[in-house]
Amino acid sequence: MVNNELLDMLIIGGGPGGLTAAIYALRGKLKTLLVEKTGMGGQIALSAVIENYPGVDPISGAELMAKFEEQARGFGLETESAEVSAIEDAGDHRRVVTTDGEYRAKTVIIASGAKWRKLGVPGEAEFTGRGVSYCATCDGFFFRGKEVVVVGGGDTAVKESLFLTKMVEKVHIVHRRDKLRAEKIHQEQALAHPKIEFHWDSVAESINGESTVTGVSGKNIKTGEEKVIPVSGAFIFIGVLPNSDFFTGDTDKQGFIATDRMMATSMPGVFAIGDVRDTPLRQVATAVGDGALAAYSAQDFIEKQPART
């Protein structure tokens, strides 16, 4: 099915970046459609709490995103539930192919975010959903009173470990370096926490179990010492990979989309924002800033196009 109406803007992704772009575009009176493949809200909707979004008291990610969506709906946001599989340059417009048909749009904003990087060790795939998890908010409850491993040492790993301490007996943080890369405030809380034990300079080599996880085998990369940590769960927080398979323009080696300072990609009329972009910081606040700027740039792009005859 081809939707013949020519949109001013098609936004891919309903996370904080996409919703912000939508608010700015709709207030600029652009005919806008947002296409989202799962549920609105993006990755932050899975986070138990967000404390660093300015002007908002600590709030769950889902609640914050409900506010974003409500605000966008108030300006007339229209959404479609579908997955985008291709963007093609059709000269005076972009053709966007989705699982629910094709769309024509003068501009496209890619706000498709990122997904969890997998560890790639034996047992990870086998026990996913049976002890291996990528979301403490979703699954932490299942490990009440038990011990778990968290793999990673960045901000998400540390913050999610602190969240897990509210329900589990103990969190073992397995980190390949000898110091954390998290925000200072989270580092201090984690380092002083009685329920958190650190396994520095260590990597997880396999996740073991029978019907569910019973332990994580790891190795100290400096001393070569091997150990098995007996736990019921393993939470993996080792970074993200971009949701950019459908994009054929310029990216970095990992697939994060290259943009200029106006959020323009190498494809004319196509902009990229937030976590999917080649950017040094992936946060709600940065996705929001990118979204506002991209909507402004897209409007400018439309105004500078020669009038169609």
List interacting residues with ligand FAD (CB under 6 A). 12-18, 35-38, 42-44, 46-47, 50, 52, 83-84, 111-114, 156, 160, 243, 246, 274-275, 282-285, 287
Which residues are CB-neighbours of 7 under 8 A, at least 6 positions away?
Answer: 31, 32, 33, 103, 104, 105, 106
Q: How far is the CB of 190 from ligand FAD (least distance, A)?
A: 14
Which residues are CB-neighbours of 154 under 8 A, at least 6 positions away?
Answer: 180, 181, 182, 237, 238, 239
Can you say how many angstroms the Cα of residue 1 is from the centroid of all Cα atoms in its chain? 30
Considering beta carbons, is residue 193 or 219 the nearer one to ligand FAD? 193
Radius of gyration of the chain (CA): 21
Which residue, 114, 88, 91, is CA-closest to 102?
A: 88
Strands 270-272 and 101-110: parallel
Catalytic site positions = 135, 138-139
Q: How far is the CB of 307 from ligand FAD (least distance, A)?
A: 31
- Is residue 104 within 8 A of residue 93, CB to CB? The reply is yes
Residue 36 pairs in a beta bridge with: 81
Q: How far is the CB of 80 from ligand FAD (least distance, A)?
A: 9
Element housing 197 (H / E): strand 196-199
* Count of Cβ atoms closer than 10 Å to residue 120 Cβ: 8
Q: How far is the CB of 186 from ligand FAD (least distance, A)?
A: 9
Q: How far is the CB of 272 from ligand FAD (least distance, A)?
A: 9
Instruction: State how far the Cα of 16 lies from the Cα of 24, in Å rounded to an integer.
Output: 12
Considering beta carbons, is residue 87 or 174 the nearer one to ligand FAD? 87
Phi, psi of 161 (to 5 degrees): -65, -45
Considering beta carbons, is residue 30 or 294 the nearer one to ligand FAD? 294
Considering beta carbons, is residue 41 or 269 the nearer one to ligand FAD? 41
Q: How far is the CB of 103 from ligand FAD (least distance, A)?
A: 12
- Is residue 77 within 8 A of residue 98, CB to CB? The reply is no
Residue 288 pairs in a beta bridge with: none
The region, left, alpha or beta by phi > 0 then psi within -120 to 50, assigned to residue 55 is: left
